[in-house]
Amino acid sequence: MKPLILASVSPRREYLLKAFGVPFKVIPSDFYERSVLETNPEKLALKLALAKARRVAEKEEGVIVGADTLTVFEGKILNKPRTMEEAKKFFRGFRDHPHRLISAVAFIDTVSGTEKTITAEIEVWFKNLPDKVLDDYLDHHYPLDKSAGYNISQASDFIDRAVGEYSIHLGLPMNEVAKVLEEFGFKINRLDYEEYARGYRE
């Protein structure tokens, strides 16, 4: 069986990928994300996921998995917050309007040269919570390494409702990833991926 390689430093993606029961290595991609200029969020996520996978595929053999997750709010792409103040601004906006998280995943089989990409999204509505509650969360949970500034497993009390696969918020649409891994010849564990994703804790 060809080795499976995750081209990501995300502990959330690593946790999710373990659910499939397939041994894999983590080899982070050093692709510079800001070098991609694209205004369409779905296309941007796909380009980034594919670029990350291709960078690792230049040096490694196997099936490479690259991924990217980004947030869209009021038609604009939000990067990970750069400061605490920016994270607070995100949160205040999320109370008034829903935001979308788009997850793209790219798979490259370096032996056959096959490339495949998938995208999925989840739409999230926050409750109308007071500033102090939001600020307290940010004071106790580091937001600058997460799309939208929060981890859904830590901020579930903020969520009024969400439409889409829960695991997208952690960086991989697990049901779609499972199908592709099987297409690439991997024998995977079949379980309740939604329940598994909800078990993630930092």
Helix, strand, coil share (%) of the chain residues, nearest 5:
40, 25, 40
Assess whether 68 carries a catalytic annotation.
yes
In whole angstroms, give the CA distance from residue 198 to residue 195: 5
| Spatial contact of 182 and 188, defined as CB atoms under 8 Å apart | yes
Tokens for 83? 């400061």
CA 109 to chain centre: 21
Distance CA 57, CA 191 (A): 29
Residue closest to 88 by CA, chosen among 41, 137, 49, 45: 137
Residue 53 CB partners (closer than 8 Å, separation 6+): 7, 29, 64, 65, 66, 106, 107, 108, 115
Beta-bridged to residue 159, according to DSSP, are 126
Among candidate residues 68, 96, 131, 136, the one labeled active-site is: 68
Catalytic sites, residue numbers:
68
